[in-house]
Structure formats: structure tokens, C-alpha cells
């Protein structure tokens, strides 16, 4: 099997992980988008606070809120990844998927 064929086969096997094709219900998508939109709004608020020369402590509190919201979103996506891509990989006998999952967890801290 050529390198290209092998790569294509690997991509096909785990398309949900490699090409962001994880199937999500409309409800799940709405929930994730809503979280992202709130964070975007919070970032806009922080930008406005900086433009208005607001008190540093107030800005830091808002930054902390965005960081917390982003980390929560990351954990939701990680949970979904574990329940879909990782579970399917383990069922297929792909032991490397566990190493990938551990690395992703480390990145989220």
C-alpha cells in the first residue's frame, strides 16, 4: 500500500477527529455556539473596558471569566471526543488513540 493510500485510509477511519466531522445534533451545535457567542461577547466587553481605561482589577475578573468559560467548553469537547472518536478507535484496536487522548488532556490542563 502506498503512503498516500495509507494516509487516506487513516483519514477515513477517524474522520471525526481529523476533519472535524464529528456528528452533532442540532441541539448540541446550538449549545456549543451559544457558549462561544457568550465568550465573544465577553471578549468584546473586555476590549471596551480597555478602551475606556477601566480599572485593572475589573478587567482581570472578566478575563478570568472568559478563561473559565473556554476551559469548560474544552472539557465538553474532550468528553465528546472520548465518547465518540476514542471509543471507536479502541473498538477497532487502535491503541495509539489513547496516547492522543492523554496528550489532548495535558493540553487542556
d(CA 98, CA 35): 28
CB 86 within 8 A of CB 98: yes
Instruction: Please check whether residue 67 lies inside any domain of the structure.
Output: yes
pLDDT of residue 12: 46
Question: Residue 31: in which H helix or E strand, if any?
Answer: helix 26-51
Residues 6+ apart with CB under 8 A from 101: 81, 82, 86
Domains held by the chain: number: 1
Stated pTM of the model: 0.72
For residues 10 and 24, which has the higher predicted lDDT (pLDDT)?
24
Instruction: Please check whether residue 10 lies inside any domain of the structure.
Output: no
Instruction: Please check whether residue 66 lies inside any domain of the structure.
Output: yes
Residue 97's Cβ-count burial label (10 Å; 0-12, 13-18, 19+) is buried
* CATH code for the domain in which residue 77 is found: 1.20.58.1000
Instruction: Flag the least confident range among 33-37, 39-43, 97-101.
Output: 97-101
Q: What is the mean pLDDT of residues 6-24?
A: 54
Give the range of the structural domain holding residue 38, as residue numbers without chain letter: 24-108
Amino acid at each position: 500500500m502506498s503512503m498516500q493510500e495509507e494516509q487516506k485510509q487513516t483519514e477515513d477511519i477517524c474522520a471525526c477527529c481529523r476533519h472535524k466531522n464529528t456528528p452533532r445534533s442540532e441541539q448540541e451545535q446550538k449549545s456549543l455556539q451559544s457558549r462561544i457567542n457568550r465568550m465573544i461577547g465577553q471578549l468584546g466587553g473586555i476590549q471596551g473596558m480597555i478602551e475606556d481605561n477601566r480599572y485593572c482589577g475589573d478587567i482581570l475578573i472578566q478575563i478570568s471569566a472568559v478563561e473559565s468559560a473556554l476551559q469548560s467548553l474544552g472539557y465538553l469537547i474532550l468528553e465528546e471526543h472520548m465518547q465518540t472518536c476514542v471509543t471507536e478507535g479502541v473498538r477497532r484496536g487502535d491503541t495509539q488513540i489513547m496516547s492522543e487522548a492523554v496528550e489532548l488532556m495535558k493540553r487542556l490542563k
